[in-house]
A and B are shown apart, each in its own frame.
Chain A
Amino acid sequence: MKNPLDTLAGTVISGLILTAVLYFLARAMMGA
């Protein structure tokens, strides 16, 4: 499998996914 960080599009998409994951993690940690 190709590393997504090798392309700009893959980097931006990875960043968006990570943002969403951490957003829901933060919500869960805060008990929201």
Chain B
Amino acid sequence: MTMDFIQYGLGRWLHILSGVMWIGLLYYFNFVQVDALKAAAADTPPTGGGITKHVAPRALFYFRWAAVATVLMGLMMLGDKVDDALLFKERAYIPIGIGAWLGLIMFFNVWVLIWPNQKKILGIVSATDDEKAKARRIAFLASRTNTMLSMPMLFFMSFSATFHRALIG
């Protein structure tokens, strides 16, 4: 009972809390910040310095660590069924398996493509102008890919509990 409460009660609650923060910040970057920085760069003089200096690093901090918490809580909830889901061993676990794979691909994009390139863009690590331009494009496309993947990911996460019953009966 206690273990069930930790695994499914607290686990699900923390999975959703951290997932809201992760995907919420992802949508902030894609739906707000990208266009805001573009408009700020066109101002004379450019006005985006405050966003780059004060907002983006804080947003990225919560973004990448919320991703870690979301994945850890998701794996905790799957527990010993993790292989049934990720290897599609059991029919009932196929929907959550697809959702979990989408989440894991997004997690990879955050830590391997977005964050290392954002460090170059924001000047946290040194980079030439050419390297910064390349980093900007990679981080942008990885972020947009995650926005695209978030749509089926959320579909399968929210529908997985009833998917099997709805389709198979």
Contacts and interface: CB of A to CB of B under 8 A. Distances in A.
B is a partner of A = yes
Contacts of A14: 148
Chain B's interface size range is: 20 to 34
Interface class of chain A by DSSP:
helix
A5 to B, nearest CB: 4
A2 interface: no
Nearest to B141: A5
> Which one of A14, A19, A26 has the greatest number of beta carbons of chain B within 10 Å?
A26
Interface of B: 30-31, 88, 91, 94-95, 98, 141, 144-145, 147-152, 155-156, 163-164, 167-168
Interface of A: 3, 5-6, 8, 11-12, 14-16, 18-19, 22-23, 25-27, 29-32
